[in-house]
Chains A and B, each alone.
Chain A
Amino acid sequence: MRKLIAALCTSAALLAGAPAIAKVPASDFTLASLKDGNLKLSEQRGEVIMLNFWASWCGPCREEMPLLNDLHARYEPVGFQVWGVNVDANPQDAQAMLSKIPVDFPVLFDSKSDVSKLFGVEAMPSSVFIDRDGNVRYVHKGYRTGDEAEYKKIIKELIRE
């Protein structure tokens, strides 16, 4: 919080790009998913995971859904997965939205916000990139048109490791 205010005080400068984070092991969790039963993060070691926190009421989230679906389809064969962590208090709201914007990647329900708290989600949507060793490597806050180029760069980097 203090960091945020300090940043605000010094200037209203633009912070470009996703801030890189030192290798921090991702907190483990298990969540029920829409089609794939219970999913546990630590069981995905060896895969690059993009945890995307989203909500049905969030416009930019809806906008990036199809793009995430494309990324998932394209890089899944080389060891990459998108996990969509839905934060809606009522999972039915999420399902209603998914019936309009269907996706193939796993959708997990965090209706109690436990995992959102665990990862300290600071923006909607938020994307957390986890490498093959289970470390959090990048956090991308928000979504703006064109951000998918950034995602691609990060994914390519992580799957090559």
Chain B
Amino acid sequence: MAATKKSLESYCAPRFGGRRCWSASPGVSSRTLSALRALCSGAHQIAFARDALKRFLFGLVFVVSPVVNAAVLPEERADTLYHSYSGGGVTIDGPSILVRKNIGNTVSLSANYYVDMISGASIDVQATASRYTEQRDEFSLGADYLVDKTTMSLNYTNSSENDYQAETVGFGISQDFFGDLSTLSMRATYGSDDVMRNGDENFLEHAEHRRYSLGWSQILTTKLIAELSVETVSDEGFLNNPYRSVRYLDPNSGTGFSYQAELYPSTRNSDAVALRAKYMLPYRAAVKTEYRRYADSWGIEADNLEFRYTHPLESENLILEGKLRFYKQDGADFYSDLFPYVNATNFRARDKELSDFSSTAIGLGVAYQVPERWALFNRKNTLNFYWDYILFDYENFHDVRVHQGGDSSYLPGEEPAYSFNAHVVRAFWSMWF
């Protein structure tokens, strides 16, 4: 019984981890490196990567003597964050702690602990499931090694849920050049996931993810900086959600439709390119703009555009921020809200994240720098609060809840399109060492 409940709970849990495990983390594995090597035919590239790794490993063991004329390590700081996402009947919140500390002048270590606690029931489960809670824990460790104008980074992330285990390793390298006006960065990550299904001891699937990214950041004037990012991701293995279903027309059903398990292709390749710029206004305030274009082998295409305005109030020790973000996507080729009959297509999905939809977000934030007389440990301390409000509008994901209570005034496929709003909160305390 418990197993049944569990599977219902997890059914369509719009989780943040696992299936859509985030891997914003840089890093390298020997596997990734060999993949890198195989991809690059140029001897220079191979020698460079090998040399880079050697130097990195050397650097981790022996802290090399101070060098001159070099780039900088990231700031040493500790952040304690409470995050919350609430919308569409689901609340996902939890803490995150990120600490970064340097060893000497060349090595920077970071550690992150992140928790998602998921509760509530999304639209997919509201008809059948009770409220539930579930947790995802994530640990990350990172090391950056700086030699002259080159920074190399290694990263490891472990994410665990009771029905999903993911490990990611990555390697990144970044280089300042052209009088430090330009920074070129590359990153490769490899992720390996084990997918389980609660209530089904025999269910075990596997998925792998490879990410390659390239970034070029360029100082254009004393007040303008721009960055071009490109990233390609390839997934292989079990990519769908073992609990999710699609619906199809079924004359034998009372509602006129039934459900069957969803089925995704076992590979997915995507490319994204983003261009962003930040500009200092004639008074002390900055504007940021960002555009990203995305396309993948599932037929999904997406664009997003973001504007941000940052305005310090020096006398009040405050930094205010406002944000507007627009997102629009065309869904996957094999997405349908309602398939015409059972097994209608080779692949099938009714995951609203794969549908045609758009979203608009407005965000407001404030950062307060604690005055020196109150500052903890005599360090720079900030208290920060950011709030985003996101409106999601689905074009071809229909709200089947209208059929609840036997109301048959809607024909299958003619239910109103679904939409919902979400609040996203980040409240954190930061301290610089």
Q: With contacts A13-B148, A145-B105 known, is A140 near B68, CB below 8 A?
A: yes
Contact of A12 with B150 in the complex, beta carbons under 8 Å = yes
Label chain A's interface by main secondary structure: loop
Contact of A16 among B52, B55, B65, B179 (CB under 8 A): B65
Cβ-defined contact, A142 with B70, below 8 A: yes
Known A-B contacts: A8-B177, A12-B150, A141-B68. Give 17 more (CB < 8 A): A1-B178, A8-B175, A12-B175, A13-B147, A14-B64, A14-B148, A15-B69, A16-B67, A18-B68, A122-B69, A141-B69, A142-B69, A144-B67, A144-B70, A146-B66, A146-B105, A147-B66
Interface size grouping (class) on chain A = 20 to 34
In the complex, what's the smallest C-beta–C-beta distance from A128 to chain B, in angstroms? Answer: 14
> Can you report 7 residue pairs joining A to B where beta carbons are below 8 Å apart?
A13-B147, A14-B148, A15-B67, A15-B69, A17-B68, A144-B67, A147-B66
Residues of A within 8 A of B178 (CB): 1, 4-5
CA distance A83 to B200 in the complex (A): 75
Q: What are the interface flags for B42-71 relative to A under an 8 Å C-beta threshold, 1 for contact and 0 otherwise? A: 000000000110010000000011111110
* C-alpha spacing A18/B150, complex, angstroms: 19
CB-CB nearest in chain A for B75: A59
Residues on B with C-beta less than 8 A from A122 are 69, 179
Q: Is B293 positioned at the interface, with any CB of A under 8 Å from its CB?
A: no
B278 at the interface (CB under 8 A from A): no
Chain A: residues with CB nearer than 8 A to chain B? 1, 4-5, 8, 11-18, 122-123, 140-142, 144-147
Closest chain B residue to A18, Cβ basis: B68
Q: Which of A1, A14, A17, A141 has the most CB of B within 10 A?
A: A14
Tell yes or no: B423 within 8 A of A by CB.
Answer: no
Contact of B6 with A by CB under 8 A: no
Q: CB distance A12 to B52 under 8 Å? A: yes
Residues of B within 8 A of A142 (CB): 68-70
CB-CB contacts of B176-191 with A at 8 A, as 1s and 0s? 0111000000000000
Chain A residues lying within 8 Å of B104, measured Cβ to Cβ, are 145
Interchain CB contact under 8 A, A15 and B150: no
Q: Is B288 an interface residue (CB 8 A)?
A: no
State in angstroms the CA–CA spacing of A131 and B55 once bound together: 37
Report the minimum CB–CB distance from A97 to chain B (whole Å): 14
Rounded to whole Å, the gap between the CB of A143 and the closest CB of chain B is 9
Residues on A with C-beta less than 8 A from B105 are 144-146
CA distance A1 to B335 in the complex (A): 54
Contact, CB under 8 Å: A147 / B68: yes
Closest chain A residue to B71 by CB distance? A142
Chain A residues with Cβ below 8 Å from B55 are: 12
CB contact list, B126-172 vs A, under 8 A? 147-150
**When the two chains form their complex, are residues A145 and B66 in contact, meaning their CB atoms are under 8 A apart?**
yes
* Alpha-carbon separation in the docked complex, A14 to B151 (Å): 12
* Cβ contacts under 8 Å, B66 to chain A: 144-147
Residues of A within 8 A of B147 (CB): 12-14
Asked if B177 and A15 sit within 8 Å, CB to CB, the answer is no
CB distance from A96 to the nearest CB of B (A): 11
B70-94 residues with Cβ-Cβ distance < 8 A to A are: 70
In the assembly, what is the distance between CA of A8 and CA of B178, in Å?
A: 10
B119 to chain A, nearest CB (A): 43
Distance of A14 Cα from B63 Cα, bound (Å):
13
How long is the Cα–Cα vector from A8 to B184 in the complex, in angstroms? 12
Query: Which listed residue (A4, A11, A144, A145) contacts B68, Cβ 8 A?
Result: A144
- Choose one: B65, B69, B149, B179; the contact of A12 (CB below 8 Å): B149
Lowest 5 A-B CB distances belong to which pairs?
A12-B150, A141-B69, A144-B105, A14-B67, A144-B66
Name the residue of chain A whose CB is nearest to the CB of B69: A141
In contact, B68 and A8 (Cβ under 8 angstroms): no
By beta carbon, the residue of chain A nearest B180 is A123
- Point out the residues of chain A lying under 8 angstroms from B69, CB to CB: 15, 122-123, 141-142
Find chain B residues with CB under 8 A from A1 CB.
178-179
Q: How many whole Å from B409's CB to the nearest CB in chain A?
A: 66
B148 cross-chain contacts in A, Cβ below 8 A: 12-15
Task: Specify which chain B residues have a CB less than 8 angstroms from the CB of A17 in the assembled complex.
Answer: 68
Task: Out of B64, B67, B68, B177, name the residue touching A5 (CB < 8 Å).
Answer: B177
**Nearest-CB residue, chain B, relative to A147:** B66
Measured CB to CB, the closest approach of chain B to A5, in angstroms, equals 7
Do residues A8 and B179 form an inter-chain contact, with CB atoms below 8 A? no
Q: Shortest distance in angstroms between A125's beta carbon and chain B's nearest beta carbon?
A: 11
Q: Inside 8 A of B64's CB, which chain A residues have their CB?
A: 14
> Chain B contacts of A11 at CB under 8 A?
51
Which of A11, A122, A146 neighbours the largest number of chain B CB atoms within 10 Å of its CB?
A: A11
Min Cβ gap A59→B in Å is 8
User: Are A8 and B149 neighbours in the complex by a CB distance under 8 Å?
Assistant: yes
A156 CB to closest chain B CB, in angstroms?
19
Most chain A CB neighbours (cut-off 10 Å) among B66, B68, B104, B175: B68
CB distance from A14 to the nearest CB of B (A): 4
CA distance A15 to B71 in the complex (A): 13
- The minimal Cβ–Cβ distance linking B13 to chain A, given in whole angstroms, is 44
